[in-house]
């Protein structure tokens, strides 16, 4: 069966919209875009549109490619000190001359709606985070939606990035799963995938995993979004060879993708409530 991320995300947005109507002030998310990367511009526009749809206010700050680290940090400091800003998101990747870690660390942790700064990641590891990274948290929402009890499940996480693989592995551990985290050096990757009750893949390699790798009845979570030369959008797993073998699978597009932005909205509302209570 297919886990319909688009539908689940829509339900989350409706729920947020209903809650926002009861607030004194619209939650306010500020998104910073540095430079002219076309993919980043699309992501940022989608985030803005989603904010408007649920009744948030949203400000986009576009900074020139040539901005210095110092000037970027000055912008963040101003937003940290502005009581009417609830969430701050700096779209990644940044131009090469800028240090993303220092940027992330300078965002007030209570406004870090990406959940990327070390305090929020530290709290995630201790299973007490308030702001959790959006894509991993969105995956957890999807698993909850299909009523999967993760306690004792064998999960293989393929990919160990700071944005998805690592925090998703921790989320799954926090839910009681036994997690194997694989990286580009992992031996016998296929066997580690094959023994898993749940496989999550976030490596950015088109259709790298096919049906031969998947245990009958496994759940497959595909976090990849890859554009092929023919223009098609595909995930990190080969949907067609897996769909009849897996008990549940997330499609691409329409799976994990829409959950990331819906979860960003959730986090912005959480940040608003935490700072205004
Ligand atoms: N670039 C790709 N994914 C993300 C994300 O989740 N947050 C930010 N800020 N940048 C990204």
Q: What is the pLDDT of residues 128-179, one digit of tens each?
A: 999 999 999 999 999 999 999 999 999 999 999 999 999 999 999 999 999 9
User: How much distance in Å is there from the Cα of 209 to the middle of ligand 1?
Assistant: 24
Decide: 20 in ligand 1 pocket, CB within 6 A: no
Contact predicate 150/197, CB 8 Å: no
Would you say the C-alpha torsion 98, 102, 106, 107 has a positive or negative sign? Answer: positive
Taking the C-alpha atoms of residue 159 and residue 167, their distance in angstroms, rounded to an integer, is: 11
Give me the pLDDT at residue 277, please: 82
The total of other beta-carbon atoms located within 10 Å of residue 42's CB is: 10
Say how far residue 12 (Cα) sits from the centre of its chain: 15
- Percent of residues, the chain, with pLDDT higher than 90: 99
User: How much distance in Å is there from the Cα of 260 to the middle of ligand 1?
Assistant: 9
Taking the C-alpha atoms of residue 270 and residue 133, their distance in angstroms, rounded to an integer, is: 13
Helices marked H in the chain: 5-20, 38-53, 69-80, 100-106, 118-125, 134-145, 165-174, 189-194, 239-242, 256-275
Closest CA to 181 of 145, 208, 156: 156
For the stretch 42-59, pLDDT in tens is 999 999 999 999 999 999
Residue 111 structure tokens: 């406004």
Distances (CA, A) of 118 to 7, 110, 113: 32, 12, 13
- Which residue has the least CA distance to atom 4 on ligand 1? 92
Report the pLDDT averaged over residues 86-96: 97
Decide: 76 in ligand 1 pocket, CB within 6 A: no
Q: Please, what are the domains in the chain?
A: 24-109 (3.40.50.10860), 134-257 (3.40.50.720)
User: How much distance in Å is there from the Cα of 195 to the middle of ligand 1?
Assistant: 31
- Percent of residues, the chain, with pLDDT higher than 70: 100
- Does the N-terminal peptide bond of residue 113 adopt cis geometry, omega within 30 degrees of 0? no
Which 3 state secondary structure label does DSSP give 269?
A: helix
- Which residue has the least CA distance to atom 11 on ligand 1? 92
The total of other beta-carbon atoms located within 10 Å of residue 9's CB is: 25
Which 3 state secondary structure label does DSSP give 233?
A: strand
Which 3 state secondary structure label does DSSP give 271?
A: helix
For the stretch 63-81, pLDDT in tens is 999 999 999 999 999 999 9
Residue 182 structure tokens: 């694989």
Give me the pLDDT at residue 100, please: 98
Give me the pLDDT at residue 116, please: 98
Residues whose CB falls within 8 Å of the CB of residue 23, separated by 6 or more in sequence, listed in order:
272
User: How much distance in Å is there from the Cα of 191 to the middle of ligand 1?
Assistant: 31
At residue 182 the predicted structure's pLDDT band, cuts being 50, 70 and 90, is very high
Which residues belong to the active site? Answer: 47, 91, 114
Report the chain's C-alpha Rg in angstroms: 19
Decide: 225 in ligand 1 pocket, CB within 6 A: no
Taking the C-alpha atoms of residue 112 and residue 233, their distance in angstroms, rounded to an integer, is: 30
Give me the pLDDT at residue 67, please: 98
Q: Which of 91, 111, 159, 258 to mutate to test the pocket of ligand 1 (most atoms within 8 A of CB)?
A: 91
Decide: 196 in ligand 1 pocket, CB within 6 A: no
Taking the C-alpha atoms of residue 86 and residue 267, their distance in angstroms, rounded to an integer, is: 10
Give me the pLDDT at residue 70, please: 98
List residues bridging with 199 in a β-sheet: 156, 220
Q: Which of 35, 114, 133, 259 to mutate to test the pocket of ligand 1 (most atoms within 8 A of CB)?
A: 114
């Amino acid at each position: 069966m297919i886990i319909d991320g688009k539908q689940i995300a829509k339900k989350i947005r409706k729920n947020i919209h209903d809650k926002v109507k009861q607030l004194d002030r619209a939650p306010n998310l500020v998104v910073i875009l540095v430079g002219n990367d076309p993919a980043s511009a699309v992501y940022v526009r989608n985030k803005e549109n989603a904010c408007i749809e649920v009744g948030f206010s949203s400000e986009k700050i576009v900074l020139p490619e040539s901005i210095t680290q110092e000037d970027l940090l000055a912008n963040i400091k101003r937003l940290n000190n502005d009581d009417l800003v609830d969430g701050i998101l700096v779209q990644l990747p940044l131009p090469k001359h800028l240090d993303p870690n220092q940027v992330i660390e300078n965002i007030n942790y209570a406004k870090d709606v990406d959940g990327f700064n070390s305090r929020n990641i530290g709290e995630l590891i201790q299973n007490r985070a308030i702001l959790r990274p959006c894509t991993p948290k969105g995956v957890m929402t999807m698993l909850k939606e299909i009523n999967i009890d993760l306690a004792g499940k064998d999960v293989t996480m393929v990919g160990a990035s700071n944005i998805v693989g690592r925090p998703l592995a921790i989320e799954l551990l926090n839910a009681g799963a036994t997690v194997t985290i694989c990286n580009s050096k992992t031996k016998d990757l296929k066997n580690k995938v094959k023994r898993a009750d749940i496989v999550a893949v976030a490596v950015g390699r088109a259709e790298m995993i096919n049906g031969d790798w998947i245990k009958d009845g496994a759940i497959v979570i595909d976090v990849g979004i890859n554009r092929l030369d023919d223009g098609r959008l595909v995930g990190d797993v080969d949907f067609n060879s897996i769909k009849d073998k897996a008990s549940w699978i997330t499609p691409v597009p329409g799976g994990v993708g829409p959950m990331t932005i819906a979860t960003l909205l959730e986090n912005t509302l959480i940040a608003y409530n935490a700072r205004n209570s």
